[in-house]
Amino acid sequence: MKLYYAPGTCAVAVWIALDWLGCDYEVERVVLGSDEYRKINPAGAVPALDTGDGKIKTQAGSILSYLVEKYKDQDLGPDDSLEDRYLFNEIVSFLSADYHPAFWPMFSPDEFTTSSDEKDYENIKEAAYKNIDSLAQSLDKRLEGKTHIYKNKKTVLDAYAYILSRWLKNTPKSWQEYPNLKKFMETMENDSNVQRIVHESVKKN
């Protein structure tokens, strides 16, 4: 398998998951939105995963769900009951549909207005900070008494929540200010494979 990624993006969460699952994979750093990369993923976004079947898979949450199904024996996905699978999918949806998009206005305020006024951009960022804080508090509650987001069991969702929460350093409240999230993040920071990949993702050409 081949993962297309850009540093600091949610694609790094997929890279971590591939590593945890023991997959045979390679990675390639791309330029987001470039004409060359759009030949692989027309949306120009990462992650994109080439699984060798002629179909490029996209969207972090969907790729992570695909991987845990493909490598069920590694037990990094949901438990078997309907309720367990529902809980896992609910967390996937929270991360991919609520938490992840909340950061977009912060990173690209110009995409959320027709104005070119810097003050308008700052107002958009301020509104984004409020929304991000609300969702980070929700994540913090989910992590109460746990160091893993799903049933206190290590799953690929830990990688996704970790990479997204690292972005909090760009807001007025870093992850250290949410007590349960802080414990979770420190657990991830102590994972040597996670830290190796984070560093490699920045250095790799």
Region of 168 please: left (phi>0), alpha (psi -120 to 50) or beta: alpha
Q: Which ranges constitute the DSSP H helices of the chain?
A: 11-20, 35-38, 60-70, 82-93, 100-102, 104-107, 118-142, 156-166, 179-189, 192-203
Mind listing the pLDDT tens digit for each residue in 26-84?
999 999 999 999 999 999 999 999 999 989 999 999 999 999 999 999 999 999 999 99
One-letter amino acid of 41: N
| CA-based nearest residue to 69, from 85, 58, 52 | 85
Confidence of residue 203 (pLDDT cuts 50, 70, 90): confident
pLDDT at 204: 57
**Residue type at 96?**
S
- Please tell me whether residue 96 adopts helix, strand or coil conformation: helix
The residues pairing with 5 across neighbouring beta strands, listed in sequence order, are: 29
pTM, entire model: 0.96
Which residues, listed in sequence order, are joined to residue 132 by a DSSP beta bridge?
none
Beta strand pairing call for 48-50 and 2-5: antiparallel
Q: What is the pLDDT of residue 205?
A: 55
Q: What is the pLDDT of residue 39?
A: 96
Residue 54 is predicted with a pLDDT of: 86
